[in-house]
């Protein structure tokens, strides 16, 4: 039987057919792929809506047609932590000769060290294509890089290519085409949006109508053939999948909404979901907040509630996404997880801590010898936060309280944890060493360290963080004071305590967002129902929730059974669960995840 093309094959073929123009730019790709060229790196740049992502997909097709394996990464879906970032990119590079990184400048200051790591790791035969909005920094041409590096600005489409794009989108009226060409000024995004207007539109000023279309289509006027509510959800989140859409818009057809969203020319697949063009998404979000604040609050609350459920089940990225809904400028400045343009997280180089301590005076402090015992815990220094020039701003070591060493600092940190009554498995304690650096550097390094730390330890339900700062005068107190308070007691070291109870870090962020939205947060105690214990009261309450959540259908009975075997006595082992339900391991974990999400989403 002949191989039948998949739906993805059909989508890729349609994308290829819809790509118009860029002849000269594609010649630059051919030159990069040529074995005779000295070029190894091509940096494509241009403003939002100029067609960078579409061009990169065309470049990847060009490479594949020439017989080269190609991999495309979207930087928005990559980890911020430099160590994890390097690993993810090198994993992709290991399977492809041509590595393509879209939205590269969203990596901020992590991009230069990532580039340097790739230069050392990639073979000479590899090719690297990147795209961003801004022109590449001068460092891309330093240290001999100029010999293998070239850049490629994407400019507006020339008239003949813009005309061809409109014709390909079905715009055949000469008058309408001319007005769209004048308004769009060569922007593929604007041309695509303009082509979606109904042919019989009678607007007197097409340019004004199209301008409003980019910012007001959530009003329900002349939309892109999609439910405005679905578009609103896409604008409020970095990536939309079926589960999130169903949670944000209960009662709607998730499948149809997601399909229509994916068909828009201003969206693209990202990981397991769909992302809306970031410029357009930001415009829609601000318009929604200004024009329909009540509607924004409802959608944001549902989205954050769903993200919190995912985070409680171990999805750290969902927790970090929640922080982007915080409205308080002060709190967002300390825990908002936007990528930093100036700092990044890294691991230390060999001998770097000793050099850092010497340059910043820590090795001259009376307790430094004892302090090094703590810093030398298994696994080494956990985090080094660097400025974009590579200079370290702080070193930090954090461990579970249950793993603290029997040292002077370790005993003090453990004593604080005991005094505060936190769970030693859900509380982290350690030391942070700040460099002598501007306050803004220290504050920004502190902000992004939180996300890096969460990704390393992956405990979204942590109850508290306990930290000692050997040089108190260097703390960025305006930031730290929002989360951390000094703890008085009979201990030798000055110690700061950050508490996230009740409910842990997820509930802390959830409460902050719901307070900004002006609505009551959901009951976070539902997470306690999924504890791994034999408490009769918990199991009785869980049974009542299961009665309310699951219907008497075949699928719901399977989901309920997954919860009962895992969280009610007698609990079963994994293999027994697989045998009982007659499912594979992958299906078992899918059932358990869906069942747990249903429980945590329950509202009385």
Question: For residues 59, 65, 67 and 72, what is the CA-based torsion angle, rounded to 10 degrees?
Answer: 30
For residue 208, pLDDT over 60 is answered with: no
Distance CA 193, CA 209 (A): 11
For residue 207, pLDDT over 50 is answered with: no
Find the mean pLDDT for residues 124-136: 89
Helix (H) or strand (E) holding 399: strand 392-400
Q: In this structure, what are the phi and psi dihedrals at residue 553, rounded to the nearest 5 degrees?
A: -120, 165
- Burial of 460 per CB tally in 10 Å (0-12, 13-18, 19+): buried
pLDDT at 1: 45
Tokens found for residue 571: 């609990």
Strands 98-102 and 267-270: unpaired
Find the mean pLDDT for residues 376-388: 74
Q: In this structure, what are the phi and psi dihedrals at residue 151, rounded to the nearest 5 degrees?
A: -120, 160
For residue 427, pLDDT over 90 is answered with: yes
Q: Is the dihedral of CA 163, 168, 174, 178 positive or negative?
A: negative
Find the mean pLDDT for residues 18-29: 87
For residue 590, pLDDT over 70 is answered with: yes
Q: Which one, of 322, 347, 354, 346, lies nearest residue 336 by Cα?
A: 322
Find the mean pLDDT for residues 236-244: 90
Distance CA 455, CA 55 (A): 32
Q: Which one, of 298, 263, 230, lies nearest residue 514 by Cα?
A: 298
Q: How many residues does the chain have?
A: 604
> pLDDT grade, residue 221 (50/70/90)?
very low
Helix (H) or strand (E) holding 343: strand 343-346
From residue 180, give the alpha-carbon distance in Å to each of 19, 165, 184, 357: 18, 11, 6, 62
Report whether 159 contacts 184 (CB < 8 A): no
Report whether 433 contacts 395 (CB < 8 A): yes
> pLDDT grade, residue 203 (50/70/90)?
very low
> pLDDT grade, residue 46 (50/70/90)?
confident
Burial 393-418 (b: 16+ CB within 10 A, else e): bbbbbbbbbeebbebbbbebbbbbbe
- Burial of 93 per CB tally in 10 Å (0-12, 13-18, 19+): buried
- pTM of the complete model: 0.72
Question: Interhelix angle for 228-236 vs 254-263, to 10°?
Answer: 70
For residue 455, pLDDT over 70 is answered with: yes
In sequence order, what are the beta bridge partners of 152? Answer: 44
Strands 41-45 and 127-132: parallel
Neighbours of 34 (CB within 10 A): 12
Report whether 70 contacts 63 (CB < 8 A): yes
Residue 27 contacts by C-beta under 8 Å, 6 or more apart in sequence? none
> pLDDT grade, residue 217 (50/70/90)?
very low
> pLDDT grade, residue 521 (50/70/90)?
confident
> pLDDT grade, residue 220 (50/70/90)?
very low
Distance CA 156, CA 461 (A): 48
**pLDDT more than 90, % of the chain:** 26
Find the mean pLDDT for residues 475-493: 88
Question: What DSSP character marks residue 110?
Answer: G
């Amino acid at each position: 039987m002949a191989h039948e093309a998949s739906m993805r094959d059909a989508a890729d073929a349609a994308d290829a057919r819809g790509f118009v123009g860029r002849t000269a730019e594609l010649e630059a790709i051919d030159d990069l792929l040529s074995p005779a060229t000295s070029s190894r790196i091509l940096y494509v740049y241009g403003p939002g809506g100029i067609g960078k992502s579409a061009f990169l997909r065309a470049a990847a097709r060009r490479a594949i047609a020439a017989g080269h394996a190609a991999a495309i990464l979207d930087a928005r879906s990559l980890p911020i932590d430099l160590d994890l970032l390097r690993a993810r990119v090198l994993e992709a590079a290991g399977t492809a000769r041509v590595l393509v990184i879209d939205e590269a400048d969203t990596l901020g200051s992590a991009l230069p060290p990532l580039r340097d790591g790739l230069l050392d790791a990639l073979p000479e035969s590899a090719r690297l294509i990147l795209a961003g909005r801004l022109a590449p920094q001068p460092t891309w041409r330093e240290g001999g890089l100029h010999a293998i590096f070239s850049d490629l600005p994407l400019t507006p489409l020339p008239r003949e290519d813009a005309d061809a794009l409109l014709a390909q989108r079905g715009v055949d009226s000469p008058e309408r085409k001319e007005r769209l060409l004048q308004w769009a000024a060569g922007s593929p995004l604007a041309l695509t949006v303009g082509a979606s207007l109904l042919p019989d539109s009678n607007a007197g000023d097409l340019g004004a109508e199209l301008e409003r279309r980019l910012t007001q289509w959530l009003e329900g006027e002349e939309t892109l053939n999609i439910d405005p509510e679905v578009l609103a959800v896409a604008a409020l989140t970095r990536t939309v999948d079926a589960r999130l859409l169903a949670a944000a818009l209960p009662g709607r057809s998730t499948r149809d909404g997601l399909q229509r969203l994916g068909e828009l020319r201003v969206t693209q697949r990202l990981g397991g979901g769909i992302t809306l063009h970031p410029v357009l998404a930001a415009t829609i979000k601000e318009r929604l907040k200004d024009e329909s604040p009540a509607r924004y609050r409802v959608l944001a609350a549902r989205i954050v509630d769903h993200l919190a459920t995912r985070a409680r089940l171990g999805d750290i990225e969902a927790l970090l996404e929640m922080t982007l809904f915080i409205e308080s400028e002060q709190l967002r400045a300390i825990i908002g997880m936007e990528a930093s343009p100036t700092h990044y997280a890294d691991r230390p180089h060999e001998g770097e801590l000793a050099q850092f301590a010497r340059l910043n005076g820590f090795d001259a402090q009376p307790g430094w010898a004892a302090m090094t015992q703590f810093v030398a815990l298994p696994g080494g220094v956990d985090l080094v936060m660097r400025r974009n020039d590579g200079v370290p701003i702080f070193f930090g070591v954090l461990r579970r309280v249950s793993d603290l060493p029997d040292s002077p600092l370790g005993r003090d940190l453990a004593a604080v944890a005991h005094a505060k009554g936190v769970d030693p498995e859900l509380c982290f304690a350690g030391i942070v060493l700040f460099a002598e650096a501007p306050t803004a550097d220290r504050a920004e390094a502190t902000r992004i360290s939180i996300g890096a730390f969460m990704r390393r330890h992956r405990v979204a339900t942590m109850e508290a963080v306990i930290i000692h700062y050997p040089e108190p005068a260097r703390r960025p107190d305006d930031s730290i004071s929002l989360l951390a308070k000094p703890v008085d007691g009979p201990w030798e070291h000055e110690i700061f305590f950050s508490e996230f109870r009740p409910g842990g870090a997820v509930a802390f962020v959830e409460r902050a967002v719901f307070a900004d939205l002006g609505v009551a947060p959901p009951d976070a105690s539902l997470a306690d129902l999924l504890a791994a214990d034999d408490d009769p009261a918990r199991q009785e309450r869980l049974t009542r929730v299961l009665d309310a959540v699951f219907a008497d259908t075949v699928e719901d009975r399977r989901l309920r059974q997954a919860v009962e075997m895992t969280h009610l006595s007698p609990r079963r082992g994994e293999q027994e669960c697989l045998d009982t339900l007659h499912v594979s391991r992958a299906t078992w974990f899918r059932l358990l995840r869906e069942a747990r999400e249903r429980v945590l989403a329950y509202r009385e």
